[in-house]
Structure formats: C-alpha cells, structure tokens
Copies of this chain bind each other. A is one copy, B any other.
C-alpha cells in the first residue's frame, strides 16, 4: 500500500500532524497522490502500531489534541528499502473517457458541456502548478538544488495537464464540427 510510503516520504522531511499531511496532499502533492483525511488518519495509526512512526501529543483547548507524527529509525529503513524497489505504474480509471467512448448515445452538446467542465478543472489545476513553479524558479541556486527532485515531479504534473488541455481542444473542435 503506497499511501503508507507517501506518508513516510513526507514525514522523512519533517514531523507533521495528520491534518497538515492532509493539507499537503490536497494542496501540495495532490497532482500525483490523492488521499482523504480518513485514510490518512487510519494509515498513520497503523504505521505507529508497527513502529515506523511515533507521535507526541500537543494538548490544545477547544480543539482535539494534536498528534505530531515523526518517522522512526525503523521507518527510515522501510522507506529506504521501498525507494529501491519496483513500483507499479498508476492504474487509470478515467470516467470521462468512458463517457466519450460510449457517447454516441447522447447528443454531442452533452459531451461538449462535460468536457468544458473538466477543461476548467484542469485549467485551474495547471494554474496552481505553474504558480508553484514560478516560486521554485525564483529560489536561489542552493535552494533549487534542494528541491530538485520534487520539482521534477511538478514538471510531470505541469506537462500532464498541458497535454490534457491540448487534447481537449482537439476533441472540442472535432465534436463541434457537425
């Protein structure tokens, strides 16, 4: 299960709470890994039980206490082993493509509308990624070096979205041509 590995990777940078990790998945690395807060809390619990993470509790008033998770030596060992292993390419289940594939049963405008909706989602996604890229490019050479690998994954996100949008344009032109 790779959500566990994703959590280990993020926590190998610095300790964090489940909530913070959840935000990171949503805003930071969401372009290559999605996870709900429920799954995150569950897996953090499991990772603690096997001893790959440990946590300290920060008492709060009015809110539930914070659990600040930290990777253990055992966790680091597991992470390093995983980083040298073979991983599966992501499995794709793309409902929009299923829809287009079987789209002859509905009028083209129905498809066009839904594709436009996805276009705006992808455009927003791309914009966000480009903003992060701008931020990265403004860093000093030293800091750029530090974030070199995350930046490469960001590049995947950016070119993936761009490629999607180019395709969508082609599809819309084709669908509107009749």
Contacts and interface: CB of A to CB of B under 8 A. Distances in A.
Interface residues of A, number: 62
Determine the main DSSP class of A at the interface with B.
helix
- Copies of this chain assembled into the complex: 2
B32 A94 contact: yes
B174 A167 contact: no
A95 B86 CA distance: 10
Given A12-B105, A34-B93, A99 B83 contact: yes
A46 to B, nearest CB: 17
A9 B114 contact: no
Interface in A149-166: 149-150, 152-153, 155-156, 159-160, 162-164, 166
A63 interface: no
